[in-house]
Amino acid sequence: MKVCIVGGVAGGATAAARMRRLNEQADILMFERGNYISFANCGLPYHISGTIQSREALLVQTPEAFHARYRIDVRTGNEVISIDRANKKIKIRRVATGELYEETYDKLLLSPGASPFIPPMQKDADAQLFTLRDIPDLDRIMAQLKDLPQQKALVIGGGFIGIEVAENLQERGIETHLVELGPQLLAPLDYEMASIIHSQMKSKGVRLHLGAAVKHLRQDSAELSSGETLDFGICISAVGVKPETGLAREAALSLGETGGILVDACMRTSDPDIFAVGDAVEVENSVTHRKGLVPLAGPANRQGRIAADNIMGLKSRYHDTQGTGILKVFDMTAAFTGISEKAAKRLGMNYEVIQLHPYHHASYYPGASQIHLKVLFEKVSGRLLGAQAVGTHGVDKRIDVLATAIRANLTIEDLEHLELSYAPPYGSAKDPVNVAGYIGSNIQDGLVQSITYDRISEITNHLVLNVCEPDEWKPDIPPIPNSINVPLPKLRNSLESLPKDRPLVVTCYAGLRGYLACRILSQSGFDHVYNLSGGYISYCHYIGR
Ligand code: FAD
């Protein structure tokens, strides 16, 4: 058995190591056109600020160590330039010399990754646009930062990498501007959740330019579509990636509808002897069952292992991708799994949303901080569809529990019954995930109707009943339109003064007292009562405050 692997980082190196563990006799050759294998792409942005001080710490494996441990024939500086499927051969170019040679294969695995997408713009000949994908990219950025003409940076793109790069430039003491074409950062989040990240970035000094694109890039300045001109000492583009499918396309392997290499659940391409994994392949979404590109390290590693299993005769299957992601934004964390409300809306799904703001551990134990949590589930069946969380502590744990719940096809009601670890420094006897289950079950059982702030205008002639204490409303934030205030303790004695012929949208600070008020009202002859999901806190996020 002779296996050739194209690409020596996440998917490729994982597959190589697994293959060796399964087969001590096989010839395994791993071709990498760069000089490094198995480096920590995900750690690259943190070297910019010095959080990861040593560049060498990013070089997780060397070709020599990988060979010593796994007896893999690692060929760095060797680019595979074509595949001859009929004769089961690949052609390789030695990058340093341009020399060409061939190797035969019994099985071929493609893990060529993705390359940065450069947005369309007018670019002067002397304008330098940096990207961050690998170690040479990082070296170029670090060299520029060493002798920066001015302590200002421009980052194009507000996704994961753009935010991480902006954070690390700002942490390095450089005035950083971030330009994002869309109306929000972090597209997998819904707007009101991303708006927490906007406030966080701004509070840390990053200048956001949302809904803007770079029209014209000059050597040290950029003209935006908004008309604004920004000066910079370095400009880094991070607007997303496109799958590296050149080799596959030229070898006439089938590509999927979204442009990635088409593979089955064994990670086998349209050629039974060629497998493909990682950023280059199209995957099925485990919630929507639609195809898409999800360039993340976890899927690439899992797929590498599964391809290796199948190449070596084990029958393992890849279980789709649910797009679970997490991001540090200074001292905050944003994470998500499954689909967003935007996506559910776009797909015409019949969903319900809950928003809550519980403390990450018992509120009486020092250091408790709020998690802003949003959970999406299917109406009627209760099947969990997605979750998003933003906060300073405990976000990772909740999203990982919810990611597991989605993977296990649990319902919103099932969340009530999860027995999660608890002691005051770590959580609450009712963990935020359990509380999401309670809220969802109340909706499913018809005990309360819930509505999100962005939809209350759909309720004709509604009145907003705010059951907060008067001093809870922030004076600098406009009150919700059409609202009156009756604090919850006074509600039972004020029922006579409330209109029964108008729908009531009830709100409090975070949603709990709103629910209590809804229960009082609906049992007192008020037929059209809605609890405002996430209360005043979510309202503030919707209006960007
Ligand atoms: P890669 O790891 O990119 O490996 C592909 C390799 O193939 C490359 O080294 C390339 O040189 C080589 N290659 C391509 N074509 C050829 C050829 N013809 N011949 C020889 N070699 C070839 N994901 C997360 O889940 N969490 C994170 O926090 C995260 N942070 C990231 C931060 C940055 C800055 C970057 C760039 C990525 C980050 N990712 C993160 C994404 C993650 O790194 C990728 O999803 C993952 O590396 C994909 O694995 P892969 O094997 O498909 O591609």
Give the type of residue at 171: E
pTM of the model: 0.96
Q: How far is the centre of ligand 1, averaged over its atoms, from the C-alpha of 279 (Å)?
A: 7
Atom of ligand 1 nearest to the CA of 281: 52
Q: Is 95 in the pocket of ligand 1 (CB under 6 A)?
A: no
Distance (Å, rounded) from C-alpha 336 to C-alpha 387? 6
What lies within 8 Å, CB to CB, of 339 at 6+ separation is: 285, 287, 288, 323, 347, 376, 385, 386
Contact 144, 128 (CB under 8 A): yes
Q: Is 116 in the pocket of ligand 1 (CB under 6 A)?
A: no
What lies within 8 Å, CB to CB, of 146 at 6+ separation is: none
Structure tokens at 21: 């563990």
Q: How far is the centre of ligand 1, averaged over its atoms, from the C-alpha of 133 (Å)?
A: 7
Q: Is 52 in the pocket of ligand 1 (CB under 6 A)?
A: no
Mutate to test the pocket of ligand 1, among 4, 37, 41 (most ligand atoms within 8 A of CB): 41
Q: Give pLDDT tens digits along the chain (545 positions).
A: 999 999 999 999 999 999 999 999 999 999 999 999 999 999 999 999 999 999 999 999 999 999 999 999 999 999 999 999 999 999 999 999 999 999 999 999 999 999 999 999 999 999 999 999 999 999 999 999 999 989 999 999 999 999 999 999 999 999 999 999 999 999 999 999 999 999 999 999 999 999 999 999 999 999 999 999 999 999 999 999 999 999 999 999 999 999 999 999 999 999 999 999 999 999 999 999 999 999 999 999 999 999 999 999 999 999 999 999 999 999 999 999 999 999 999 999 999 999 999 999 999 999 999 999 999 999 999 999 999 999 999 999 999 999 999 999 999 999 999 999 999 999 999 999 999 999 999 999 999 999 999 999 999 999 999 999 988 888 888 889 999 999 999 999 999 999 999 999 999 999 999 999 999 999 999 999 999 999 999 999 999 98
Q: In Å, what is the CA distance from 318 to each residue of 165, 216, 281, 422? A: 32, 43, 12, 33
In this structure, which residue's CA is closest to atom 45 in ligand 1? 296
Is 42 a catalytic site residue? yes
Q: How far is the centre of ligand 1, averaged over its atoms, from the C-alpha of 114 (Å)?
A: 6
Helices (H), 296-448: 297-311, 341-346, 395-407, 432-444
Q: Residue 2, class by beta-carbon neighbours within 10 Å (0-12 exposed, 13-18 middle, 19+ buried)?
A: middle
Atom of ligand 1 nearest to the CA of 296: 45
Distance (Å, rounded) from C-alpha 18 to C-alpha 5? 12
Structure tokens at 20: 């060796």
Q: Is 303 in the pocket of ligand 1 (CB under 6 A)?
A: no
**Active-site residue (options: 42, 266, 508, 518):** 42
Give the DSSP H/E element, type plus range, for residue 539.
Answer: helix 535-542
Q: Is 162 in the pocket of ligand 1 (CB under 6 A)?
A: no
Q: Residue 466, class by beta-carbon neighbours within 10 Å (0-12 exposed, 13-18 middle, 19+ buried)?
A: buried
Atom of ligand 1 nearest to the CA of 81: 18
Mutate to test the pocket of ligand 1, among 14, 111, 274 (most ligand atoms within 8 A of CB): 111
Q: In Å, what is the CA distance from 478 to each residue of 194, 196, 365, 473? A: 20, 18, 33, 9
Helices (H), 155-276: 160-171, 191-203, 246-250
Mutate to test the pocket of ligand 1, among 33, 51, 137, 327 (most ligand atoms within 8 A of CB): 33
Q: How far is the centre of ligand 1, averaged over its atoms, from the C-alpha of 10 (Å)?
A: 6
Q: How far is CA 540 from the centre of its chain?
A: 23
Q: Is 79 in the pocket of ligand 1 (CB under 6 A)?
A: yes
Q: Is 354 in the pocket of ligand 1 (CB under 6 A)?
A: no
